[in-house]
Amino acid sequence: MINILHIRNIGIIDDISIDFNKGLNVLTGETGAGKTLIIDSLNVISGGRFSKDMIRKGQEYSFVEAQISVENNSDNIIVSREINSSGKNTCKIDGRLVTVTQLKEFMKNNIDIHGQNDNQNLLNNSKQIQYLDDFSGKELSELKLNYKIKYEDYINLKNELNANYGDEKEKQRKLDLLKYQYNEIEQAKLKIGEETKLEQQIKLINNSEQIYINLNEANEKIEQNAIDAVNSAVRNIEKIKQYDISYKNIADILKSIYYDLQEIKIDIQNSYHEVYFDEEKKLEINERLDTIYSLKRKYGNTIEEILKYKDEVKQEISKIEGLEEYINNLKDQKQILENEMLEICNKLNNIRKQNAKILEEKINKELQDLEMKNARFYINIEFNTNKEFNKNGLNDIEFLIRTNLGEDKKSLAKIASGGETSRIMLAIKTSLANVDNTPTLIFDEIDTGISGVAADMVGEKLKLIAKNHQILIVTHLANIAAKGDYNYFIYKEVKNEKTQTKVSLLKEDETLEEIARIASGKITKVSLEHAKELRNIKIA
């Protein structure tokens, strides 16, 4: 539902904000005051086309913003669109930049505009089948849910069948590649952790000369200096240890150091005896590392990843080699699903046909009330078992209309008259009032070519739809204006030698005066009494 509409720099609109409400919101005013511009602005915020001629004279941009409330969402959503004179669009949903297409997709579930130049949801075939299905009730809804589950499985199976590596040559090419990859990894006989060990070995070999020199020098220094020095110190302390226990402790520690140095000397000697430069060993290790690095570039960042990839390749090889059996199994599953889906589609078709007749009659009754006596509405249903299954089954559904006797049935999209289209839409919307989930419906030019009882009936039907929807309607008829829950007066005001559109939410006495003005062109005692009658009139 639209709570607030803010418009800036569109036509003669300078800067206005309109607070809309639940129920029937009626917009009236003199010709040229800007009523159509408000509808145009709603079309702009819904992702519709925009002409640079719409930008207010002397300004560089137009801006439309709407605060809307969405079902099951406690927070209001701010939607905006700004278009500058160069044609650049800036669209936002709750502050997030979106494309015009994304804006249109979001808004089509919140606003449905019925005017001369607008494409309504009801003109969309996929939407038409949804309306019929919603009208058809619980039985069809449960069948569609069952069908949807099977259809999703069916699509997955089709995708799997399409991914069967193409023709025989393509399959063999794929198999040869996978076998090459598997053998390359298998022949390498990788071991987890070996890369680290090899890199350590190559580091020792590359630095063997420096390691040998330093180990040898360390050994000589320990042997020539440290061991003799500690041994002498031990003998000295041994001579005085009987005089104090602390000397004995020092002697024991020095002995321990002496023995440790002896062991360290042996370790160093063993180490430098083992240090040598082996060119063949170096080449062997580098070749092994090159093999590992090459496999990492191709198949994974670690040996663990490479081995995992090898297992995946092995599985895919098995799958391709057993592909014929695998595909036949998929085909069998697909055939079973197709048979089950066809059975459901037959039931869906029967229910749709039954309810289409009922809905047709309801809509035709509404058309009669709306002074379209010669009009006839049809729901054309085709059931084609040769076509591909889609999310709705095997039905093609189209809403058709014959507006005059002797004419052929036409698609709703081919109706030329805006007022005629709006009344047909109103008839359909009235019949679908309880199943149409679009929260806000906007009608323009709905009163073209009608008056009297028909106008009263249009008002009553709008009132009926407004019980479950927010309705915004521009009208020139007192009969329709009289049914408004909220009436807005659109007028022009000249300020600083510039014309501006203004909007005023009317109080009850002001509403009666506006109805009187529309009905007779001026406000008199008689026209006010007539306005009161129109406010209170009810159609049986």
Residue 195 or residue 44, greater confidence = 44
Q: Within a domain: residue 93?
A: yes
Residues 90 and 212 in one domain: no
Segment 435-463 mean pLDDT? 83
Structural domain harbouring 462: 1-110+438-540
Q: Which of 110, 81, 84, 111 is nearest to 93 (CA)?
A: 81
Q: Within a domain: residue 356?
A: no
Residue 114, CA atoms < 13 Å, CB-side half-sphere: 32
Mean pLDDT of the chain: 86
| Lowest-confidence pick of 86-95, 281-290, 390-399 | 281-290
| Lowest-confidence pick of 64-73, 119-128, 252-261, 526-535 | 119-128
Q: Within a domain: residue 199?
A: yes
β-bridge mates for residue 7, sequence order: 16, 64
Please tell me the predicted confidence (pLDDT) of residue 419.
60
Residues 103 and 178 in one domain: no
pLDDT tens-digit series, residues 410-428: 887 777 565 677 778 888 8
Confidence of residue 107 (pLDDT cuts 50, 70, 90): very high
Choose one of 321, 352, 382: the last residue of a domain. Answer: 321
Segment 448-475 mean pLDDT? 86
β-bridge mates for residue 480, sequence order: none
Residues 15 and 98 in one domain: yes
Per the structure, the count of domains in the chain is: 2
Residues 191 and 268 in one domain: yes
Please tell me the predicted confidence (pLDDT) of residue 119.
46
Q: Which of 221-235, 252-266, 443-457 has the highest mean pLDDT?
A: 252-266
Residues 207 and 101 in one domain: no
pLDDT tens-digit series, residues 470-509: 999 999 999 999 999 999 999 998 888 888 999 999 999 9
Q: Within a domain: residue 423?
A: no
Geometric angle at alpha carbon 300, from 297 and 304, rounded to 5°: 135
Choose one of 272, 287, 321: the last residue of a domain. Answer: 321
Q: Which of 4, 14, 118, 2 is nearest to 61 (CA)?
A: 14
Please tell me the predicted confidence (pLDDT) of residue 209.
66
Residues 80 and 216 in one domain: no
What phi, psi does 109 have (nearest 5°)? -90, -5
pLDDT tens-digit series, residues 252-302: 888 888 888 888 877 777 776 666 566 777 788 888 888 888 899 999 889
Choose one of 266, 300, 321: the last residue of a domain. Answer: 321
Q: Within a domain: residue 408?
A: no
Residues 298 and 218 in one domain: yes
| Lowest-confidence pick of 12-26, 394-408, 414-428 | 414-428
Q: Within a domain: residue 157?
A: no
Residues 101 and 213 in one domain: no
CATH for 44: 3.40.50.300
Token pair 């190559």: residue = 202
Q: Report which residue type is found at 407.
A: E
Residues 104 and 185 in one domain: no
pLDDT tens-digit series, residues 295-354: 999 998 899 999 999 999 999 888 888 877 888 888 999 999 999 999 999 999 999 999
Residues 101 and 186 in one domain: no
Residue 94 has pLDDT above 70, yes or no: yes
pLDDT tens-digit series, residues 426-445: 888 888 887 778 899 998 87
Residues 189 and 89 in one domain: no
Q: Within a domain: residue 488?
A: yes
Residues 306 and 178 in one domain: yes
Q: Within a domain: residue 159?
A: no
Strands (E), 316-383: 376-383
